[in-house]
Structure 1
Amino acid sequence: MTSATLRLPTPLRAFCGGQDEVTLEGATVGELLRALEREHPDLRGRILDENGEVRRFVNVFVDGANARGNGGLDADVRDGSQLTIVPAVAGGSGRSR
């Protein structure tokens, strides 16, 4: 089985006991994200939607490449790969002070 490290953004760390990364087993992005939800059930619904798809405002990178352009949830993950979960950030009024 393939082992990969998932790097978690600050807003999601509270749902994983404060960890900034976890190592899980899975051969695809989807397998790893589902394993993450099984290990940390409080994350359920924050990365994957009710249909099991990556939420549109969340990007997952595998070794620096956006998984959406490389097969999405079916993208293969090599042993030792690093996945980075990046939720979209919005804010600010656009006005200068």
Structure 2
Amino acid sequence: MSVSVRIPTILRTYTGGESEVKAEGGTLREVIADLEKNHTGIAARVLDDAGKLRRFVNVYVGDEDVRFADGLDTATPEGVQVSIIPAVAGG
């Protein structure tokens, strides 16, 4: 299934400057694998060494935060928008 992935500025070096790219997959895990296949290096910025979502990266499938859904196994229906949003800290 084809989905649209919104890429934050900090990760656009992996997508040739593109703010949105297409990816294939029926789950978020498959979408990230497809992103990595086409944009080498991006998965390491989203996933930790154990293959889990990094603590400081928020991912939404549509309007749903995957941390409150099925995590990497969250379904990604055809045409849905996936948003990768790095957490921002400061004060």
TM tier, smaller? over 0.9
Q: How far apart are 1:52 and its partner, in Å?
A: 1.2
Structure 1: 5+ residue runs without aligned partners?
Answer: none
Q: How far apart are 1:44 and its partner, in Å?
A: 3.6
Partner of 2:18: 19
Partner of 1:3: 2
Structure 2: 5+ residue runs without aligned partners?
Answer: none
Partner SS for 1:32? helix
Which consecutive segments of 4 or more residues in structure 1 shift more than 4 A? none
Partner SS for 1:61? strand
Partner of 2:61: 62
TM-score, reference length from structure 2: 0.93
| Whole-Å separation in 2 of the counterparts to 1:87 and 1:57 | 6
Q: How far apart are 1:90 and its partner, in Å?
A: 1.4
Q: Which has the larger radius of gyration?
A: 1
Q: How far apart are 1:30 and its partner, in Å?
A: 0.8
Partner of 1:90: 89
| Whole-Å separation in 2 of the counterparts to 1:76 and 1:44 | 18
Partner of 1:45: 44
RMSD of aligned alpha carbons: 1.0
Partner SS for 1:45? helix
Residue-pair matches, total:
91
